[in-house]
C-alpha cells in the first residue's frame, strides 16, 4: 500500500506534499520525535501548535526548527502538562478560544518505564500521562477536528504494547506489585485502543484516528530507565529471538507524518501503523513486528473508553 518503509524519513514521506492551510497540534514537541514531527509538518506549510510541559524548552525547540527551515513558518508554543487534567482542560479551552478548527492532532508525548508515581490527579503515572491525558485532550478537541473534516488524530503507541494488555480492574496497580514495563505496556495498549474507539465514534463525521509505533529510537523518552529496567528490556528483546534495529529520529517520525497525511489511509481508520504501513495482527508476544490482537479489539476499546470517560469526568 505504501512506497515507504523502515528506513524512510519524515521528509521522504512529505516530499511534494503541501500542507499550507492545515493546522496541527503536536504534544511533546520540545524534543525528539515531537520536535522532528513539528519541523517536518511546518516545513511543508502546516501551522503547528507545539504543546509542551516546559515553555522555555518549547521556545528553544521552536527556535531550532525555525533555524532548520529555510523559509518562514508558523509555530505557536503553548503549555500542556498531560499529568494534570486541569492543565489539559486549560490548554483545550485556550486552543478552542483561538481556533474553531483542527486538521491534525498528534498525541506524541509520553513516559517510558518510569518508576512508580502518580499524576496530579492521583492516577498511576504512565497510564495517567500517556493515556488519560491524551484521552481527555482528544475528546475536548474533537469538535475542532469535526469542524475541519476530513481530519486525523494520531496516537503514538509502541512495540511495548506487546508486554501487556490494559487492566481495566487494576489500572493503578492497587492489587498487584508495580512493574515499570508492564505499566508502560498497558499505557501503550491504551493508546492503540484509544485510536480504535475514537475512529469508531468520529469516522461518520469525517475524522480518522490511527495509532503509530515509531520504532526503537534513542530519545529523551528513555530518561527514566534504570539499570534494572534496562536489564529487563534486554531480556525481553533476547527472548523475542529476533535482532532489534534502531531508527534515527527522522526515521522515527516518518510513520507519524505518514499517518497524518497519506491519501492511502483516507478510507481506513483505527489501525496500528508501523514502518509507514498497516501492521499485521498477531497473537505471538514478539517485540519487533505486528500488533497484538487485544490492542485492536473494538470491544476492549469501548470498555477502556467508558472507564477513561468516567475517570476524567467527560
* pLDDT tens figures, 53-92: 999 999 999 999 999 999 999 999 999 999 999 999 999 9
Length of the chain: 314
Q: What is the pLDDT of residue 224?
A: 47
210 a catalytic residue:
no
Q: What is the pLDDT of residue 309?
A: 98
* 27-56 per-position pLDDT tens digit: 999 999 999 999 999 999 999 999 999 999
Instruction: Out of 3.40.50.720, 3.10.180.10, 3.30.70.260, 3.40.50.1820, select the CATH number for domain 10-312.
Output: 3.40.50.720
Task: Give the count of beta carbons closer than 10 Å to the beta carbon of residue 285.
Answer: 12
Q: Please, what's the b/e burial string for 244-268 (b: 16 or more CB within 10 A of its CB; e: otherwise)?
A: eeebebbbbbbbbbbbbbbeebeee
Q: Where are the beta strands (DSSP E) in 22-66?
A: 23-27, 47-52
Q: What is the pLDDT confidence band of residue 314, given thresholds at 50, 70 and 90?
A: confident
Q: How confident is the model at residue 216 (pLDDT cuts 50, 70, 90)?
A: confident
Q: What is the rounded average pLDDT for all residues in the chain?
A: 92
Distance between CA 263 and CA 135 in Å, rounded?
25
Answer whether 288's CB lies under 8 Å from 242's CB: yes
pLDDT of 180 > 80? The answer is yes
Q: Where residue 183 falls among pLDDT bands split at 50, 70, 90?
A: very high
What cell does 45 get? Answer: 506549510
Pick from 81-95, 193-207, 243-257, 262-276: least confident:
243-257
Task: Please state the domain extents for the chain.
Answer: 10-312
Question: How high is the pLDDT of residue 39?
Answer: 98
Selecting among 116, 178, 184, 210, the annotated active-site residue is 184
Bridge partners of residue 55, in order along the sequence: none
How is the chain split among helix, strand and coil, in percent rounded to 5? Answer: 50, 15, 35
For the segment 2-15, the average pLDDT, to the nearest whole number, is: 95
- Given a cut of 60, whether residue 233 has pLDDT beyond it is no
pLDDT in tens, 114-155: 999 999 999 999 999 999 999 999 999 999 999 999 999 999
82 against 240, higher pLDDT: 82
- Mean pLDDT, residues 171-177: 96
Residues facing residue 15 across a β-bridge? none
pLDDT at 1: 60
Please indicate whether residue 255 or residue 224 has the higher confidence score (pLDDT).
255
Q: Which of 5-9, 225-229, 247-251 has the lowest mean pLDDT?
A: 225-229
Amino acid at each position: 500500500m505504501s512506497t515507504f518503509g523502515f528506513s524512510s524519513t519524515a521528509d521522504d514521506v512529505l516530499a511534494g506534499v503541501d500542507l499550507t492551510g492545515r493546522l496541527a497540534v503536536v504534544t511533546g514537541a520540545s524534543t525528539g520525535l515531537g520536535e522532528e514531527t513539528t519541523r517536518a509538518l511546518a516545513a511543508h506549510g502546516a501551522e503547528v501548535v507545539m504543546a509542551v510541559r516546559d515553555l522555555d524548552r518549547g521556545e528553544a525547540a521552536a527556535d531550532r526548527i525555525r533555524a532548520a527551515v529555510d523559509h518562514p513558518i508558523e509555530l505557536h508554543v503553548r503549555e500542556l502538562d498531560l499529568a494534570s487534567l486541569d492543565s489539559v482542560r486549560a490548554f483545550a479551552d485556550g486552543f478552542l478560544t483561538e481556533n474553531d478548527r483542527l486538521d491534525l492532532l498528534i498525541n506524541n508525548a509520553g513516559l517510558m518505564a518510569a518508576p512508580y508515581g502518580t499524576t496530579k490527579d492521583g492516577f498511576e503515572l504512565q497510564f495517567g500521562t500517556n493515556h488519560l491525558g491524551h484521552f481527555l485532550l482528544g475528546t475536548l478537541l474533537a469538535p475542532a477536528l469535526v469542524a475541519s473534516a476530513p481530519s486525523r488524530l494520531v496516537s503514538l503507541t509502541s512495540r511495548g504494547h506487546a508486554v501487556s494488555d490494559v487492566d481495566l480492574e487494576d489500572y493503578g496497580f492497587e492489587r498487584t506489585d508495580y512493574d515499570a514495563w508492564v505499566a508502560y505496556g498497558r499505557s501503550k495498549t491504551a493508546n492503540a485502543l484509544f485510536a480504535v474507539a475514537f475512529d469508531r465514534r468520529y469516522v461518520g463525521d469525517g475524522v480518522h484516528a490511527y495509532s503509530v509505533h515509531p520504532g526503537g529510537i534513542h530519545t529523551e523518552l528513555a530518561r527514566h530507565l534504570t539499570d534494572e529496567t534496562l536489564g529487563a528490556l534486554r531480556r525481553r528483546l533476547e527472548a523475542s529471538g529476533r535482532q532489534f534495529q534502531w531508527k534515527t529520529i527522522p526515521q522515527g517520525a516518518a510513520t507519524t507524518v505518514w499517518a497524518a497525511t497519506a491519501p492511502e489511509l483516507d478510507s481506513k481508520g483505527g489501525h496500528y501503523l508501523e514502518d509507514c504501513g498497516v501492521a499485521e495482527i498477531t497473537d505471538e508476544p514478539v517485540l519487533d513486528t505486528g500488533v497484538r490482537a487485544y490492542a485492536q479489539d473494538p470491544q476492549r476499546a469501548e470498555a477502556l473508553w467508558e472507564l477513561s470517560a468516567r475517570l476524567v469526568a467527560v
